[in-house]
Structure 1
Amino acid sequence: MKIVILGSGVIGVTTAYFLAKAGHEVEVVDRQLEAGLETSFANAGQISPGYSSPWAGPGIPLKAVKWLLMKHGPLVIRPKADPAMWRWLLQMLRNCTAARYAINKARMVPIAEYSRDCLRALRAETGIEYENRSLGTLQLFRTQQQLDGIGKDIEVLKQFGVEYQVLDRAGCQSVEPALSRAQAPIAGGLRLPQDETGNCRIFTQKLAAMAERLGVNFTYGVAVKEIVAEGGAVTGVRTSAGLITADAYVVALGSYSPLLLRSLGIRIPVYPVKGYSLSVPISDAGGAPVSTVMDETYKVAITRLGDSIRVGGTAEVAGYDLTLRQSRRATLEHSLSGLFPFGGDPAAGSFWCGLRPMTPDGPPIIGPAPVRKLYLNTGHGTLGWTMACGSGRALADLLSGRKSEIDLSPLSVTRFA
């Protein structure tokens, strides 16, 4: 079967790879000149199944008000005359209950855990390297109140058999020795030892090269204009290079997926939430993190990637605005300087932003669209890197007529009907 994939980020490339492994003829179309140049380019570098939680949860509305008033708050909302923004925000608020949080997290953890297993199998089979480390994630709490509030998360981790450790200050310093030189207060942490780190862009580009060797055709520098449908089924994709036809089509365009689907009358509640990152050269290896530290106060991830420290985070709801705002850089620098003041000079870091494709409830959208021959693999939010291999493998199984190793029905677009 010939399958066209729209998008060459980590989601599109993993889907292409697993489809090619299954024996399909695959073409990937992207406006960029190579794979992994948008949201996959400089993300936080985490592969964190245990940290797979919806943003919408009990207490979030009150926390959001506090965050909006903080100098280095993790949340910024820039109001726009965009009905999609306000619909998405209202839908997210409706998911901020204990019951919905439990349901949504229970949908996210299985695909994230499965994805980590698929990544490990892929790594064992191909030997792919991408500045990867398998040394866990430490969610760090600056206050005792934060540490005391992890009960519900631990219940879910226990439910799914996710290994975890609750650490005091000394325990945090034992797994991340550079924290002994931190200038910020440390009350304790929640460590997920099975989590991993890696450079998403390097992974995406190396896997794209492997997919090419399996016969995948990557068509770069071509803009996708419209999905053409007739009689309730997709008949082709109109691009800047002409019409492309296939037996099936996969939309893996991240935040841009809903814009393309509107002409078909398909409305998916995926909205861009801008995240920023700072890549700082390591000047003192002993002062840098060993793996990933999640600064709970500022919702910032500090990750060691090769010879640099990747500092990623913040959530800016501002539509498709890609402006690099220095106030957001200051937040990343503030978090890094408080926890790892000697690892590297923040002023020497390269500053970047990308648009995370967020659903209002948290889980991604994977599976058939309401139009025949069309499939969706989008809406992974901050967890695209974490969920990529599992999402690609499961969708490839679906398109190949095989029973998937994971149930995709909870991730279907029909949950928003």
Structure 2
Amino acid sequence: MRMGCEQIRDLGSLHMRVIVLGSGVIGVSTAYFLAKAGHEVTVVDRQPGPALETSYANAGEVSPGYSAPWAAPGLMAKAVKWMMMKHSPLVIRPKLDPAMWSWCLKLLANANERSYEINKGRMVRLAEYSRDCLRALRDETGIRYDERAKGTLQVFRTQKQVDAAATDMAVLDRFKVPYSLLDVEGCAAVEPALRLVKEKIVGGLLLPGDETGDCFRFTNALAAMATEMGVEFRYNTAIRKLESDGRRVTGVVTDAGTLTADSYVVAMGSYSPTLVKPFGLDLPVYPVKGYSLTLPIVDPAGAPESTVMDETHKIAVTRLGDRIRVGGTAELTGFDLTLRAGRRGPLDHVVSDLFPTGGDLSKAEFWTGLRPNTPDGTPIVGPTPVRNLFLNTGHGTLGWTMAAGSGRVVADVVGGRQTEIDMDGLTVARYGRSAAAASRPTIGGVARPAAR
């Protein structure tokens, strides 16, 4: 699917003051496209700079072809198997947290063939568009961020994994996303370093339209460009709450005072639900903790050319300039950001198993961050029933992949422009009653309870 991403032209007559909450890759991308459309934009974040939380050291993939919900048929059986593996891609640390269990139940409710196809289709639609927007942005601005456009190779260690890829390929066919199913020799031709470990894989799925790049470098470079365009970044500013007059948002209360604008965009990842809940919006966004390693390349011929995704361990190994980024694993533990040494094992294993000579693990930077996941995999972007409140959150592991497209469509929606892609299934409206709750009367930003 190639929708294209046309350049925004300043509409001149339409000018608004917009506050974007969050300075990760999603928030900064949104701010950039809003400024490009001629709006006066302020970005607010508690951190001292952009991309210092989830966007800091993600896997480095811009992977529309690999966009797929976690809620797939057979998820429960897979989860049990994963948790019993030595290098488990999944860890659940049970908590007395109703939001965790509600999210898990909704995840399982989406783990069927019909929901999977619908959800994957929505994700691919936005991700393909986003990749095109990123390319257009790169061509226009010359932005650099250790980018490569050499695709993603999903490697399979078992024939069962090869057979299961048929479901994904059917969706890719529907959206005209190019791919190639490769045998072992084909995998080695794409990623020459895999010739050293050919006995460990049985095949792979190549997605040639995917790209790679350093999300942290991109976000900082884009923030600098946005600043030159007039965007104001208010760092070291904690966001307390949103205020309302009962019909619309009237201000953002921070530890540095109350800020006001015409429209407000919430792009705070896993922290978005708490901020909008007083408006009756019950966002099913829950943090799923991920880990990464960043290690220097010591043998370029033994390092990946682009991204190699290990289907067994759900871990990506990506080349970022003179570094290798290893990202993955999923840990359900609420908002706990403890850097657990034991969770480094799967990352160490995959990079040393597939690329034994490529990098120096003794010099690796170990990192963790919270991915804002929805149970259906699709992010929540666009309008809400609160007329001047907009969302750009819930991207899970695909925030970097979907950032440019999500920022562009939200800028279009805020500015009253027709979006270049169909927004059906991408907004909070897909959750029905939860979204409708936001249209209830509110008092001081707190939703009046519905009649029982």
Q: What band does the TM-score fall into relative to the shorter chain? A: over 0.9
Q: Which of residues 138, 144, 155 is equivalent to 1:140? A: 155
Other-structure match for 1:277: 292
The equivalences for 1:43-58 within 5 A come to 43-58=58-73
CA offset digits 1:326-348 (Å, max 9, x no partner) = 22101100011110000012232
1:73-84 alignment, distance < 5 Å = 73-84=88-99
Match of 1:373 among 380, 385, 388: 388
Letter in structure 1 aligned against 2:139: A
Give the alignment's Cα RMSD to 1 decimal: 0.9
What SS does the corresponding residue of 2:358 show, helix, strand or coil? coil
Contact 2:309 2:315 in 1 (8 A): yes
Does the C-alpha gap of structure 1 residues 198 and 95 become closer, same or farther in structure 2, counting only changes over 3 Å?
same
Residue 280 of structure 2 corresponds to: 265
- Following superposition, the deviation at residue 183 of structure 1 comes to 7.4
Name the counterpart of 1:232: 247
Separation (CA, whole Å) in 2 of partners of 1:183 and 1:119: 34
* Equivalent residue letter for 1:73: S
Is the 1:184–1:338 Cα contact (8 Å) retained in structure 2? Answer: no
Contact 2:184 2:198 in 1 (8 A): no
SS in 2 for 1:150: helix
- Partner Cα distance (1:409, 1:250) in 2: 19
Output the CA distance in 1 between the equivalents of 2:394 and 2:402. Answer: 11
- Give the match for residue 149 of structure 1: 164
Verify: 1:197 aligned to 2:220, yes or no. no
Q: CA deviation at 1:415?
A: 1.0
1:45/1:200 contact within 8 Å kept: yes
- 1:18-33 correspondence to structure 2 within 5 Å: 18-33=33-48
Which of 146, 163, 188 is matched with 1:131 structurally?
Answer: 146
Unaligned runs of 5+ in 2: 1-15, 433-452
State how far apart, in whole Å, the 1-side matches of 2:359 and 2:132 are: 33
Instruction: Give the drift of 1:409.
Output: 2.8
1:359 Cα deviation from its structure 2 partner: 0.2
- Aligned position for 2:53: 38
After superposition, where does 1:52-67 map in structure 2 within 5 Å?
52-67=67-82
Distance across 2 between alignment mates of 1:139 and 1:93: 24
Work out the percentage of aligned pairs sharing the same amino acid.
Answer: 63
Name the amino acid aligned to 2:52: L
Aligned to 1:300: 315
One-letter amino acid matched to 1:366? V
Question: Could you give the per-residue CA deviations for residues 171-200 of structure 1, whole angstroms, max 9, x where no partner exists?
Answer: 111110011112761100000011000000
The one-letter amino acid paired with 1:63 is: K
Whether contact under 8 Å (2:296, 2:359) holds in the other structure is yes
- Given candidates 227, 230, 233, the residue that maps to 1:218 is 233
Question: Take 2:254 and 2:414, find their aligned partners in 1: how far apart are those partners?
Answer: 23
Give yes or no for contact 1:258–1:268 (8 Å, CA) kept in 2: yes
Question: TM-score, length-normalised on structure 2?
Answer: 0.91
> Is this contact kept in 2: 1:167–1:188, CA < 8 A?
yes
Pair 1:325 & 2:325 matched: no
State the one-letter code of the partner of 1:302: V
What TM-score do the two structures reach when normalised by structure 1?
0.99
State the distance in 2 between where 1:407 and 1:4 align. Answer: 25
Distance, in Å, in 1 between the alignment partners of 2:365 and 2:283 is 33
Match of 1:255 in 2: 270
Determine whether 1:170 maps to 2:178: no
Does the CA-based 8 Å contact 1:143-1:185 persist in structure 2? no
The one-letter code matched in structure 1 to 2:106 is Q
Match in the other structure for 2:446: none
> How big is the shift at 1:370?
2.6
Residue 416 of structure 1 deviates from its aligned partner by 1.2
Task: Pick closer, same or farther for the CA change 1:70–1:184 going to 2, 3 Å.
Answer: farther
Match of 2:425 among 389, 410, 413: 410
Letter of the 1:3 counterpart: V
Q: Is the 8 A contact 1:142 1:184 kept in 2?
A: no
For residue 163 of structure 1, report the CA deviation from its aligned partner.
0.4
The aligned counterpart of 2:330 is 315
Measure how far apart 1:263 and its partner are: 2.5
8 A Cα contact 1:163 1:193, kept in partner: yes
Question: Which one is further off, 1-10 or 363-372?
Answer: 363-372
- 1:393 corresponds in structure 2 to 408
The equivalent position to 1:72 in structure 2, one of 87, 95, 115, is 87
Q: Flag as ranges the 4+ runs of structure 1 deviating above 4 A.
A: none
Partner secondary structure for residue 328 of structure 1? helix
Q: How far apart, CA to CA, are the structure 2 residues paired with 1:57 and 1:192?
A: 20
Letter in 2 for 1:50: G
- Secondary structure at the aligned position of 2:368 is classed as strand
Q: How many residues align?
A: 417
Checking the alignment, whether the CA contact within 8 Å between 1:183 and 1:338 is kept in structure 2 is no
| Contact in 2 for aligned 1:184/1:339 (Cα 8 Å) | no
Which blocks of at least 5 consecutive residues in structure 1 are unaligned? none
Aligned partners of 1:276 and 1:347: how far apart in 2? 17
Give 1:346's aligned residue: 361
- Residue in structure 2 matched with residue 185 of structure 1 by the alignment: 200
Which whole-Å CA distance do the structure 1 matches of 2:194 and 2:357 have between them? Answer: 10
Q: Is the 8 A contact 2:383 2:413 kept in 1?
A: no
Answer yes or no: is the 8 Å Cα contact 1:227–1:264 preserved in 2: no
With over 3 angstroms needed to count, the CA separation of the structure-2 counterparts of 1:341 and 1:184, relative to structure 1, is: farther
